[in-house]
Every structure is written in structure tokens, then in C-alpha cells.
A and B are shown apart, each in its own frame.
Chain A
Amino acid sequence: MATSSYYVPESSRLPIFTSIGLICIAAGAAGMINHISSGTEGWAFPHFVFFTGALIVAAVLYNWFGMVIKESMGGLYSQQMDRSFRWGMGWFIFSEVMFFAAFFGALFYVRQWAGPWLGGSGDKGVSHMLWPDFIYQWPMFNNPAGADLPGPNAIIDPWHIPLLNTILLISSSVTITFAHHALRTMQRGRVIFWLAFTVILGAVFVYYQILEYVEAYRDLGLTLASGIYGSTFFMLTGFHGAHVTIGAIILFVMWIRIVKGHFTPDQHFGFEAAAWYWHFVDMVWIGLFFFVYII
């Protein structure tokens, strides 16, 4: 049992800078999007606000994590503190699960209820009266208002890039476990190798995902604006891709820290948290592969 004290940090400049950075990002993004939607070209004031905010947040993240690493290396964190981090990371991942649940929920709702009702099935299918010619099918190649809002010409074949990406991500979950195992048994070279391998697998995944998007937009007519199929497809895979990117960056930082020798076989929660996050991203992908691509 730990006997050291619980570390209560001194007052800090970092949170207030984070708040300022976040409000700049939020207000800047809102202004920027409104600016784009109003059809005006070029840069305007909101762009500067947004990028200033992004720079502030990037600088804060660098310094904040740097400070936490320094405190951790300085031995300020007791086992009790370590548990606070574990609970915090665990429940943060749960909140991410719920964020994806909203989008999966939208997909299930449309496929199970809203779509069939628009197509005239069910005793509440009055929405069929809006577009009497509409026949529901999934994938929705013909939208209810097909003339004004054309659906996609084709969809992504799950057995090419998506299958490859599934194999890549599942492999990366295995390789990160190899890395973790090596870390616990003090095999430094193997940790560095397997973690680097994991990051590369993640990067290759993102590369293929970009190729897939290019194909969708250029060849298949599958876009954000091609009705509910495109909406759910791009929002689910897009947020997932963003999470893979973030996860790969986190793992890369962990790789640097391992090269610098920050972790010991007993104390490496930073690495574990990154691994938890990576497994979460992997699980979301398996859900996506089944519910978005295959079924």
C-alpha cells in the first residue's frame, strides 16, 4: 500500500489558457463555417481566431502533458493518484463510446424505422404520403426526393479496402499487446519495435481510409450530401478516422517516451491509457465494419 501523499498541484496557468484556446476554436470555427456557408471567398477574421485558438491549445497540450510527465518522473504521483488517472481515462473512453452511440443510434433508427415508414410500411407509415413513389431499400441509392437530392451511384465494397483495414486494425491491437508485454518484461528493443509497428499500421489504415474517401467522392457519387446513406457513412467513418489519427499520434508520443526511457515495468500508465484508447478505436471499427460496410 502506498504511503506517500496525494499530490494536489499548485495553481496553474495552463487551464485558463486552455479555456481561452477552446473559446477561440469554438467561436472561430462557428464564424468560419458561417462565412463559408454565406458563399464568401477567402480568409476573414474568424479564420485567424480559429487558428490562433488551435495554436494555443496545441501549445497548452504540449506543456500540460510535459508538466504531467515531469511530475510523474519526479515521483510526485502516488498509487492513489495513479488510480485517479485510471478512473478518469476509463470514464473518458466511456463518454467517447456514448458519442459514437449517438451516430450508430441514428443509423439503426433510420434503417429500422424511419426508412421503412417513408417507404410505406407499418401502420404509422404516413410519411409515405410525402413521396408516394419512394421505395425503401438499403443502401439507399434513391432518396425520397431523388430528383433534387440524388443518392449515391454505388457504395464502397466491404471486401476490398474495408476488409484490409479491418485486418490492419486488428493486427495493430495484437502488436500493441506485444509491445505492452515486452514493456512489462523489460525487453526494450522489442517494445520500441512493436510500438513503432503499431503506429505504422495505424498510419496505413488512415492512408487507405483517405483513398476510400477519394474513391467515394470521385467515382461513386457517395458524398456527405448524397442522402442519409452518405450522412451516416461519412460521419461514422469520419469520426472513427479522426480517432485513429489521434490515437496514432498518442502512440507515437508514447514511442518517443519509451525511446527516452520514461517507463518502468511497474509504472507506465501513460502507455496503458494509450493502449486502452487504441483498443476502443479498434472496437468501434469492428462495429463499423459490420453495421456500416457489410450489413
Chain B
Amino acid sequence: MTTTTAAHDDHGHHGPAKGIMRWILTTNHKDIGTMYLWFSFIMLLTGGVMALIIRAELFQPGMQLIEPEFFNQMTTMHGLIMVFGAIMPAFVGLANWMVPMMVGAPDMALPRMNNLSFWILPFAFGMLLLTLFSEAGAPNFGWTFYAPLSTTYAPSSVTYFIFGVHLMGISSIMGAINIVATILNMRAPGMTYMKMPLFVWTWFITAYLLIAVMPVLAGVVTMMLMDIHFGTSFFNAAGGGDPVLFQHLFWFFGHPEVYIMILPAFGIVSHIIPTFSRKPLFGYSSMVYATASIAFLSFIVWAHHMFTVGLPLVTELFFMYATMVIAIPTGVKVFNWVSTMFQGSLTFETPMLFAIAFVILFTIGGFSGLMLAIAPADFQYHDTYFVVAHFHYVLVPGALFAIIAGVYFWLPKWCGNYYDEFLGKLHFWLSFIGVNITFFPMHFIGLAGMPRRIPDYALQFADFNAVASVGAFIFGFSQLLFLYIVIKTIRSGKQATPEVWEGADGLEWTLPSPAPYHSFSEPPQVK
């Protein structure tokens, strides 16, 4: 690092502009972070309503509320919106807010591009959502959009979907490049790589994953577009192509993608647990190496999503063992979190509750992943509700709980007020209970053989489906409480100190609460 004094440009007095144009034209990392977070929350509720429509239909066997065609649109849009609209933008929002403050920078490295990365998203999702009202209906081929269901048999809205994915990809790549440039180039003097906070480290690695795989997704949807409209044969065996090629390309993107949605969560939890244990994080460097190992391995495990498509035996074995190896760095992480808590002076404020729930429930999701990694066993589990249970355990009490924990953890820093601890805990317990009632029974109905993505099911699955639906409504509506708590905190609440939490450590806690509009006009010295 240089001895650069990182003041922003000549006139230092100005704050945010007034009115709506402040948000549309802003180049400020905090404004943009806020917009990302609100956008992702709106998408969470949108995708959540779709999930509740699915669960309402599945409350009883038989068709009662919606048509099967619409059910397929709901499962597809729910997945796409939650993955690309809720989880990913939420992490980018947290990165926008926290990374410059954590590395001691005045702002992100490329502020105007930062604005562009965000503002592409509302338009792209608006277009995707509008297809619901088109004559052909929204995309209905599942969020994994396997060919030929998404090519030969797709509704005409698939073309809008393809261009929507391109826009999301452009946004993600620009966002990732910005984060990489910020972390490489904007760290305060003295902050060497192995002194970077873990949230910065995990986002650093996540950004590389994004830059590497989003273009592959762009390539695969381009091939779809050409197959559908211009007569190419990429996924058409009649012309010498192969539908399985789609799956290879998609999962080459898709597997790193699932780590894109969990690595920043690891980072958040690695901040919260030490703070409320009042101990430094156990095994910092092993955390960094474990994150890097997981990221590397994510590139060589993709075919474990495809065990049943007829891969050669040696391929099955390679991908089975490679997948199981991921359990080792992940185990290191869980061990470190537990060891951090061991003999700490623990208190259980809301962020800590969500973080502990993350560690336990993510581990459950990890173990069911290990079960799915066993190729011979996967032939039984494939495309059942067991898979649905698995990835919802890593994404909802995994990624989403970490995001919520991060919001509670950093909210006093953002708006200068503490949230209502009683309401926060109430939100936690409702979410915790709701999430488990929803997704735990799915393990059982999956093992019993209920396929995923069906609007109707055999009678023996009725009881657990009813239970899951009740849980989904508890979980879904308790997020409205979250909305209320956040708005209440923004408007009022006990004044927060700069340090906010007793055990907090890091540059971001040296700034006043609420954090000033421009973070560090002079770079702090890190010892």
C-alpha cells in the first residue's frame, strides 16, 4: 500500500443530495448498499409470496388453488428471484456498506460503476416479473432451466428470461470487479492480506468466483437463445449436440454459484461469534485457507448434480470424492466457530442467536449434502424433496440467517440507533421455529420418495406436507416483523455508541454511529 491520503475530491463539506435523485444518481457506497439491501428485501418478499403460493397448494393432496402450469411458473420464479434477486444482492449490499469501512477506504474503488451495477437489477427483475402477465406465462422450466425443457418446450417468455440473465450477469461481474479492485487497492496502510477482516476475505474470494462463472452462465443462455431462435444444435442430439452439455455448463456455473451464496455468510458469522464471545476468532488463518480451498474445490465438483444422467463410472467416482473433500475445509470452519465460543463470555443478543442457529442448521444442511454426494445413494435421493430440504437448509437458515444476523449486527452502525432487543429475539424465535417446521419434514417425505416440483402428490405424504406448509406461513409472516423492527430502528431507538457492541473489533467500529457519509477521508493506520 502507498501512503496515499484518501480524502475524496476537493470540496469536503457536501453530504447527501435531497430527494429521490439522491438515490438515482448516487455514487456513495452507503447509499448504494442501502438500495441493494432494500431491493433484496422486496425480492425476498416477492419470492416469499411465491413460496407461500406453492406451500398453500401443497397443504393438501389434490389440486385446489392453482393450475399445474402456474405452479411450475411459481417454482421457477421463486428460485430465480431468491437466488439472483434476494440472496446475491443482499450480500453485495452488505459488501458495499461494510468493505470500505472495514479496509479503511473513503468509498468503493469505482463508484459510478457501482451505481450502474445496482440500477441494472430493478429493471432486469421488473422485466422478468412482467413475463408473469404475458400471454405465454412466465418461465416454467425450473430455476435450473434444463434443456430441452427450456429450449424446445419453453414458452416464448424464455427469450426475456435469457436477456434478463444477461443483465444480472453484467451487474454481478461489475459488482465483483469493483469489490476486487477495492480490496486490492484501497486498504489502509498496514492492513496486510492476513490482517484483513474475514468478511473482506470471504467477499474477496466470492468476487473471484463471480468473475469466473457468471460469463459461463452468459455463454450457456446464449447457446439456449441460438438453439431456440437460430437453429443451432448445442443441446440437440439430432444435430450432434447433447442436452447433457447444458447441464455440464450450467453446473460449472451453478456449483460455484452456491458458494457465492454462502462464503460471505461465513464471513459475517466469523465477525459475530467472536464479538459476542468476547474472544478473538479461533484459527483466523485456517479460516482464510479453508475459504480459499472451498472456492477452489467448487470448480471441480459440478457433476455431483448430475449423477443420474448417465455419466461414466470414473466420472461419478471422481465427482463423488471431490465433493466429499469439501467437508474438510467446511468442518474446519465449524470447528473454529465452536472453538471461538468455547470458554468465551457469551451473551445472546439477536445477531448472536442467528449466528449460532446458522452454525447448527447450516451444519445439518452440510451433512445432508454429504449424503447426497454419495453417488450410489444419490440415485435414491435425486430430484426428491430430500434435495429440496438440503438446499433450503443451507440457503435459508444458512445464507439468509447470516444476512439477517449481519443486518442486526451492523444496523446500529448504519443508522445510529439500537434495534429493539425484545422484538429482535421474538423475530429470531419465530424464524427459527418456522424454518425448522417448514424444512425438516421435507427430509422425511423426500426419503419416502416424494418428487420435487410437483403440484400434487400421493396421499402418504399428506401429513408432513401440511406441517411444512404451516411452518412456511409462520416463517414467511414473521419476516414482516423484521421489516417493522428495521423501520422502527431507523426512526428511533437508543443512541448507539461508536463501538456498538462490547466485544466489537475492527476499523468499522472506530467510526461514529451512524457512520459519516464518506467513510475514511484520511486512511487510518493499521498496526
Interface residues of A (CB under 8 A from B): 1-16, 18-20, 22-23, 26-27, 29-31, 33-34, 36-38, 64, 76, 78-80, 83-84, 87-88, 91-92, 94-96, 98-99, 101-103, 105-106, 109-110, 113-115, 117-118, 122-124, 126-127, 130-131, 140, 143-145, 148-149, 151, 223-232, 234-235
Contacts and interface: CB of A to CB of B under 8 A. Distances in A.
Contacts of A10: 9, 27
Given A76-B9, A84-B185, A98-B216, 9 more contacts: A4-B4, A15-B113, A26-B167, A27-B160, A30-B160, A87-B184, A101-B219, A109-B248, A114-B245
Contacts of A124: 310-312
Given A20-B123, A87-B184, A96 B215 contact: yes
Contact of A37 (B26, B219, B229, B239): B229
Binding site secondary structure of chain A: helix
Binding site secondary structure of chain B: helix
Contact of A5 (B9, B163, B185, B230): B9
A110 B216 contact: no
Contacts of B26: 11
Interface in B214-228: 214-216, 218-220, 222-223, 225-226, 228
Nearest to A140: B240
A3 B21 CA distance: 33
Contacts of A127: 237, 242
Contact of A15 (B8, B115, B160, B310): B115
Given A6-B8, A145-B239, A84 B110 contact: yes
B164 interface: yes
Given A11-B25, A23-B127, A225 B230 contact: yes
B304 interface: no
Contact of A224 (B22, B124, B226): B226
B234 A228 contact: yes
Nearest to A225: B231
Nearest to A142: B240
Contacts of B17: 11
B234 to A, nearest CB: 5
A146 to B, nearest CB: 9
Contact of A99 (B8, B219, B234): B219
A36 B230 CA distance: 10
Interface string B1-25: 0111111110000000100011011
A13 B242 contact: no
A231 B241 contact: yes
A255 B245 CA distance: 43
B394 to A, nearest CB: 25
B212 A98 contact: yes
Given A106-B249, A230-B232, A118 B25 contact: no
